[in-house]
Chain A
Amino acid sequence: MIPELGHFSLIIALSMAFLLSLLPLIGAYRGIVTWIVFARPAAVAQLCLVGFAYLCLTWSFLNNDFSVAYVANHSNTHLPLIYKISGVWGGHEGSLLLWILILSGWMVAVACLSKSIPAILSSRVLAVMGLISVGFMLFTLFTSNPFERLYPMPIEGRDLNPLLQDIGLAVHPPMLYLGYVGFSVPFAFAVAALLEGRLDSAWARWTRPWANIAWMFLTLGIALGSWWAYYELGWGGWWFWDPVENASFMPWLIGTALIHSLAATEKRGVFKAWTVLLAVLAFSLSLLGTFLVRSGVLVSVHAFATDPARGLFILIFLSVVVGGSLLLYAFRTQRLVSTVRFGLISRETSLLVNNIFFGILCFSVLLGTLYPLILDALDLGKISVGPPYFDFIFSLIGTPLLAFAGLGMLLHWKHDMLSRISIRLLVCALGCLACGLLLPLFLPFYSVAVAIGLTGGGLVIIMSGSVLFDRLGKGRVLARLRTTPCSIFGMIVAHMGVGVFVIGVVITTAYSIERDVRMEPGDSYSIGPYRFDFEGTAEVPGPNYRSIMGMFDVYRDNEKITRMKPEKRFYLIQDNPMTEAAISPGFTRDLYIALGEPIESGPAWAVRIHYKPFVRWIWLGALMMAMGGLLGAADKRYRKLGGRISGEFIPVRPDG
């Protein structure tokens, strides 16, 4: 009964979304006020209906209702409670429902927080998002219904994939989806502006916090995924350039370009058409990512061809959304001409450079991801594009990008002179270069990549620091702290995060020590100052698995610092072994132990021991970037009444 209620609720939500996507648009065109104001209550109603459907599915999980096929395939009576809740999005059908729920949530957020925006614009925005909901609800109901019943009802469920039974992966998809779907808001704003044929700095002011928040969630989602891969897959790697990862990384790259170009559009009214294009592209790439991951095209192009229903639907949806919005863009873009001029040495130029570089990065990731698929589809051979390709491109383009990121923050809008900042620039650059070149001498061996990375990362951090000093440095710190806009702090924290991230990446990559060793109880193995004593293994039962736990005592300079307990788990229902690595985290280094397999079924084990310096800095940097995005969106000026300021004076100051 409950699953049917959920199913019906979703169907009613579909009709609601259908109305929402039609009435306000017609109302705005014809000038019918009641149809325009219909958008807000309709968005709220859609969220309630989708939320109810979502709760119904959760209820089925909690009550072990294995007559629902989706529950039977992704749950089990012995599954811990938290994974029953997160299991709702553990498979294809449920994750689509989560996607729709989050989209509806964003719509209600727009409805509630857009009181200051003209009703026509906000209802158009909601209508565009309603249209996207229609597509996804049709997809869910027709090709991937999570409420489908299973006859006869199995006594026991097939359990959740052991890889997903982990807190990191329980929160990773919601975060990622919040980011993915969040880009539908700037997208909807862009389409609404194109429909209206008008785009002013007020538009950028309304769009900017949404883009920032979506970008923040996407950053967090990707960082969580990387962290999960690090400790759960048992290889100790943090990024694999896997197509699934690239699918989430491409919208992030374009999203980064978008939040930068939005800054220029808001402050100076430049790059209007370009900003709109980026908003369209960011969401299109989110959809493309969904298509790649959900259609099975990544597993095999040919699997897609034999069961094309799902893939074909997303492909058609993708072309309608992308094609439609690009067509609209092509017709309306000439109305978005920017008349504002700016000098060669100006913050506008540096943001333009940022956009070009991020565009190139995204394009090369797209190429590396799709190239094997295209070759395979044309039967031209089976290839895989290895990490060296991506590493090469990113180090080639990332290095000048870091330099420009540092420089851009110091430049004024409109027109600036290099002579104004040349002394500071020279001192910072030479200082960083000296530190970057000399520091690796004190590290285990000299690496050019580390020297470049330290220089670039250090430069961005120092430059951000000098912007902070400009703001606060000259007396009366507290008073200045209060008058400085929040978005300035956002910019500083995010860019410092970039520096921290880069330093983490180069040091981890160059100086990680990874050893696969054979160890018997009583053996010990040393890496640098650390000694790992293998004490033996013990069997530990779990709720739906049994585990063999290894015990390692870790000594640093003969002083015991910790005991690490890596596990090998055997999940009983899916009959899968899983490696649970033990990690001793630290600010400057992680120690990492994973159990491989028993050798000759004796007491000896194959053991993987890693020493990973500065690996935490990677996620710390990502957290700082996300924090910066949040601070940027929390700026006071976005909470002011927005409706009447479109023609106001735009200050020419180096504001975020």
Chain B
Amino acid sequence: MTPKRKRRLMITLFIVTGVSAATGLTLMSLNENINLFYSPSQIAAGESPHNATFRVGGMVVTGSVTRNARNLDVRFDLTDTVEQVSVHYSGILPDLFREGQGIVALGKMEGTVFRAEQVLAKHDETYMAPEIRDAINTANAGKPSAGEEDPY
């Protein structure tokens, strides 16, 4: 092998190793840091993970929001119109958090209660997070008489 070819081979090997190492690391950390989405129906069916952070989305059930008058604890129910999950959160809710509004919460299951670390509502009146819309549609798809009006 000529010195020139040898150098080229070294450079190519160097680049290939570098790129594969970078891709491997990236994919590894990507897989560790993704948050899966579950609907209240999936949680009721026991599909959601235990001891792992995930996202749940749905509409805030009207009349379900109760605040503790002494601190910032809030409890409310989320629904995909079929099943409900009860959510506990401590802190300030986003500006657009309202009863009947679609929200997404990030957190873990504690028994039958979802303990949220973060509650998100998009800054748009008409906005319905695509996950929630799909969750509601999927949940309703199984019902024979989904006769009620569209919730959104």
Docked-complex contact B18 and A356, CB < 8 angstroms: yes
Interface hit among A111-119, A385-393, A502-510? A385-393
- Some 10 contacts from A to B, beta carbons below 8 A apart, are A234-B95, A356-B18, A382-B134, A385-B35, A389-B32, A518-B72, A576-B95, A596-B93, A597-B93, A600-B67
Residues in B neighbouring A141, C-beta threshold 8 A: none
* Tally of contacts, chain A with chain B, CB under 8 A: 93
- Told that A302-B134, A389-B33, A517-B72 touch, could you supply 10 new A-B pairs with CB distance under 8 A? A301-B130, A364-B22, A367-B26, A383-B34, A384-B35, A385-B30, A389-B32, A393-B29, A596-B93, A608-B92
Residues in B neighbouring A388, C-beta threshold 8 A: 29, 32-33
Residues in B neighbouring A578, C-beta threshold 8 A: 95
Docked-complex contact B29 and A389, CB < 8 angstroms: yes
Given known A383-B37, A606-B92, contact A518–B29 (CB-CB < 8 A): no
For the complex, count residues of A whose C-beta is within 8 A of B: 44
Docked-complex contact B30 and A367, CB < 8 angstroms: yes
Docked-complex contact A381 and B95, CB < 8 angstroms: no
Docked-complex contact B25 and A396, CB < 8 angstroms: yes
A547 interfacial by beta-carbon distance below 8 Å: no
Q: Interface centre among B36, B37, B69, B95, by most A CB within 10 Å?
A: B95
Residues in A neighbouring B70, C-beta threshold 8 A: 518
Residues in A neighbouring B36, C-beta threshold 8 A: 381-383
Docked-complex contact A576 and B67, CB < 8 angstroms: no
Closest Cβ neighbor of B38 among chain A residues = A382
A371 interfacial by beta-carbon distance below 8 Å: yes
Residues in B neighbouring A596, C-beta threshold 8 A: 72, 92-93
A150 interfacial by beta-carbon distance below 8 Å: no
Residues in A neighbouring B27, C-beta threshold 8 A: 367
Residues in A neighbouring B26, C-beta threshold 8 A: 363-364, 367, 393
Interface residues in chain B, defined as those with a beta carbon under 8 Å from any beta carbon in chain A: 18, 22, 25-27, 29-30, 32-37, 55, 67, 69-72, 90-93, 95-96, 123-125, 130-131, 133-134
A527 interfacial by beta-carbon distance below 8 Å: no
Separation in Å of the A347 CB from the closest CB of chain B?
19
Given known A163-B123, A396-B25, A600-B69, contact A386–B33 (CB-CB < 8 A): yes
Q: How far does the alpha carbon of A303 sit from the alpha carbon of B130 in the complex, in Å?
A: 8
Residues in A neighbouring B25, C-beta threshold 8 A: 393, 396
Chain A interface, >50% SS class: mixed
Docked-complex contact A392 and B33, CB < 8 angstroms: yes
Residue interface mask A544-583, B partner, CB < 8 A = 1:
0000000000000000000000000000001111110000
Out of A384, A385, A393, A518, name the residue touching B37 (CB < 8 Å).
A384
Q: How far does the alpha carbon of A606 sit from the alpha carbon of B119 in the complex, in Å?
A: 15
Within residues 358 to 382 of chain A, which ones have a CB less than 8 A from any CB in chain B?
Answer: 360, 363-364, 367-368, 371-372, 381-382
Residues in A neighbouring B22, C-beta threshold 8 A: 360, 363-364
Closest Cβ neighbor of B135 among chain A residues = A382
Residues in A neighbouring B67, C-beta threshold 8 A: 599-600
Out of A356, A389, A577, name the residue touching B95 (CB < 8 Å).
A577
Residue interface mask A588-610, B partner, CB < 8 A = 1:
00000010110110001010100
Separation in Å of the A316 CB from the closest CB of chain B?
24
Q: How far does the alpha carbon of A535 sit from the alpha carbon of B71 in the complex, in Å?
A: 19
Q: How far does the alpha carbon of A577 sit from the alpha carbon of B133 in the complex, in Å?
A: 24
Separation in Å of the B90 CB from the closest CB of chain A?
8
